[in-house]
Chains A and B, each alone.
Chain A
Amino acid sequence: MSAPIEVSGLTKVYDQPAVDDLSFAIEWGQVSGFLGPNGAGKSTTMRMILGLSRPTSGVATVDGMRFDQLERPASVVGALLDTQQFHPQRSARNHLRVYADAARIPAPQVEEVLELVELTDAADRRVGGFSLGMKQRLGLATALLGEPKILVLDEPANGLDPSGIRWLRSFLREFVSDGKAAFVSSHLLGEMALMADDVIVIARGSLVAQAPMHELVVHSDAGVRARSEEPERLRSVVESLGARAELVSHDTILVKGIAVEEVGRAAARDQIVLYGLASEEGSLEDVFLQLTGSEV
C-alpha cells in the first residue's frame, strides 16, 4: 500500500533554496504534524505536493501517484492551504457548488459539508463578510467536499476560537480513526502536541527530524531535577561524571547530559540523601528550539 504522502529529494529554488532535498513519508491512520518556523518551506512543500508549485527537482506523490495524475483528485485528497481562497462576493453555498460542479460531486454533499462545519445558517451570505474563523471552516468544508481519504491542512487552527480548535482536533482524530490520513502544518506548537501522532520538523527547507510526537518530547534534553539536602555536593558529583548541573533553588539542582538512573546511582554511591529525583519532559518549544535553532 502506498504512503498517503511521500516526498523524495524535493527541492524548490527561487532566488535561494526554499525547500532543499526534502524526503519524508506519512502514514495512514495518523495525524502527521508538519512543524517549522515561519519561512521554513512548509507551505511551499505542501503546494508542491498538491501540484500547485513545480519542484525544481524531486518527486512528491499522493497515494502513490503525482497529484496531477490522480483521476479524481477531490476523492483522494482535500486541502486547505489559505484563508484567502474565496471570491468575496460569492456566497458560501455557491463557492462550494462551483467546486462540486467541477468534480461532479452530487449537490447534497454541499449541504452535508456545510452542516458539518456548522455554516448552514450562513450559507447564503457573501464570504467577504465572514470572520477568519468562518473562512477557515468554509475552507475545511471545501477540502471535505470530495470525501477524501487524505487531508492536507496548512495552519488550520489559525483564526479558530478555542472551541473551534477543540472541534478541529476531535474532527481530525475521528477522520484518521478509520484509516485515513491527515497532514497538518502549524506554528502553534502546543496545539501540534495535542493534535499530531507523528511530527516532521523542517528548518530552512531541510528535514530536521521525523518522529512520533511523544518520542520527540521525551528525548529532549530537558534534564533531571534532583532535590537533596546537599545540592552543592550532588552537583560536584554529577559534574565529575561529565554532566552539566545548575542550582535552581536552595535544595534542587537541574542536571543535563546524563540519565536519571546515573544521577540516582551517583547519589547512592556518595551517600547523598535525595528528597526527590525526576527526569523532566521537555516542552515542544524546547525541542523545536533545539532542532531548528530558531525562535518560536
Chain B
Amino acid sequence: MPGLFISEVRKITTTSTFYWLLAGGVAFSLLAVSSLSGADDAAMTQPITEQLFLFLGTFVKLGFLILGIRIVTDEFRFGTATPTFLFTPARRKVLLAKVGAAAMCGVFMAVVTQVVLFGSAAGFFAIKGEVLHIGSAGTHAFFGGIVAGTFWTVIGLGVGAVIRNQIIAIVGVVVWFMGFEDIIGSRLGDADWFLPGRAGLSLALAPDGRALWNGLTIVLVYAALTLALGAIAVHRKDVA
C-alpha cells in the first residue's frame, strides 16, 4: 500500500495540472487581499473579512474539486488506467491510494493558499501601518479552510470516479457551484444547510461549534457518498 500511495503522489506531482491549480489558488488569494484596498481603516483592522472567504470559497473550491476530478479522469482520458490496473488489479486499493494522495495534495494546496492569503493580508496591512488582527474567527477560518480544501479534493475525486468524462465532470461541478446551488439555496432559505457548498463554507465561517460540526458531518457524508459510488463504478466498469 505505501508503494501504491507513493505511485499516486508521483502521478499528481509529475504533471503540470497540480502546479497550475496551486498557482491559481495563490493568484486568487492575492486577488482577494488586493480587494481590501478600498476598505477603510476601521474595516481593515477587523479580523479577516467574511467577504474575503466567500470570494475564496467560490473560486478556490473549484480548484480543489478540479484537482480531485483530474486525478481520476486523467487516467481514462490519457489511457494510463490500463497500466495502472495491470500493475495493481485490485481497483479499490488503487482508489484508496488515490484518496490518500489526493488528501495529501489537497492539504498542501490548502496550506499554501491559506498561508499566502493570511501572509499577504498581514503584509498589506503592515504597508498601511496597521496590524492584522486575526483573532479566533481568523484562526478558525485558516484551519477550516484547510479542512474544506482537503474535503473538496476528495469529493472531486469521487465525482471523477463516477463520471469518467473529464469535461462533463468539470462542467458539472462548475455549473453546480457557480449557479445551480445558489438557485436552490435561495428557494430553500434557511433550510439550505445540507447543500454541499453551504456545508463546506461553514467549515471556515461557522458562527459556533454546533454549526461547524454540522457542516463537517455533511461534508463527510458527501465525501463518503461520492467515494462509495466511485468505488462501485471503478470496480464494475470495463477499462477501455
- Whether the pair B78, A104 counts as a contact (CB closer than 8 A) is no
Interface residues on B, range: 20 to 34
Residue B85 interfacial (CB < 8 Å): yes
Q: How far is the CA of A41 from the CA of B84 in the complex (A)?
A: 23
CB distance from B177 to the nearest CB of A (A): 27
Q: How far is the CA of A74 from the CA of B74 in the complex (A)?
A: 22
The list of the 6 closest CB pairs from A to B, nearest first, reads A101-B7, A102-B7, A68-B89, A85-B79, A52-B239, A53-B238
Residues from 67 to 124 in B contacting A, C-beta threshold 8 Å: 74, 78-80, 82-90
Residue B4 interfacial (CB < 8 Å): yes
- Whether the pair B80, A87 counts as a contact (CB closer than 8 A) is yes
Given that A68-B90, A87-B80 are contacting pairs, would A52 and B85 also be in contact in the complex, using a CB cutoff of 8 Å?
Answer: yes
Binary CB contact string for chain A from 256 to 275 against chain B (1 if under 8 A, 0 otherwise): 00000000000000000000
Given that A103-B3, A104-B3 are contacting pairs, would A85 and B87 also be in contact in the complex, using a CB cutoff of 8 Å?
Answer: no
- Whether the pair B10, A98 counts as a contact (CB closer than 8 A) is yes
Q: How far is the CA of A151 from the CA of B11 in the complex (A)?
A: 25
Q: Inside 8 A of A130's CB, which chain B residues have their CB?
A: none
CB distance from B236 to the nearest CB of A (A): 8
Q: How far is the CA of A104 from the CA of B183 in the complex (A)?
A: 49
Residue A58 interfacial (CB < 8 Å): no
Q: Inside 8 A of A67's CB, which chain B residues have their CB?
A: 89
Count residues of A near B (Cβ-Cβ below 8 Å): 32
Kindly name the residue among A50, A85, A91 whose own CB sees the greatest number of chain B CB atoms within 10 A.
A85
Residue B54 interfacial (CB < 8 Å): no
Binary CB contact string for chain B from 16 to 38 against chain A (1 if under 8 A, 0 otherwise): 11000000000000000000000
Kindly name the residue among A74, A90, A101, A102 whose own CB sees the greatest number of chain B CB atoms within 10 A.
A102
Chain A interface, >50% SS class: loop
Given that A47-B238, A87-B74, A89-B16 are contacting pairs, would A103 and B88 also be in contact in the complex, using a CB cutoff of 8 Å?
Answer: yes
- Residues in chain A within 8 A of chain B (CB atoms): 47, 50-54, 67-68, 70, 73-74, 79, 81-82, 84-91, 94, 97-99, 101-104, 142, 146
- Whether the pair A52, B86 counts as a contact (CB closer than 8 A) is yes
- When C-beta atoms are compared, the residue in chain B nearest to A68 turns out to be B89
Q: List, sorted by A's number, 11 A–B pairs whose CB atoms are closer than 8 Å.
A: A52-B239, A54-B236, A82-B79, A86-B78, A86-B80, A89-B17, A94-B10, A101-B6, A102-B84, A102-B87, A104-B3
| Contact with A98, one of B11, B86, B89, B90 (Cβ below 8 angstroms) | B11
Given that A47-B238, A54-B238, A103-B88 are contacting pairs, would A98 and B14 also be in contact in the complex, using a CB cutoff of 8 Å?
Answer: yes
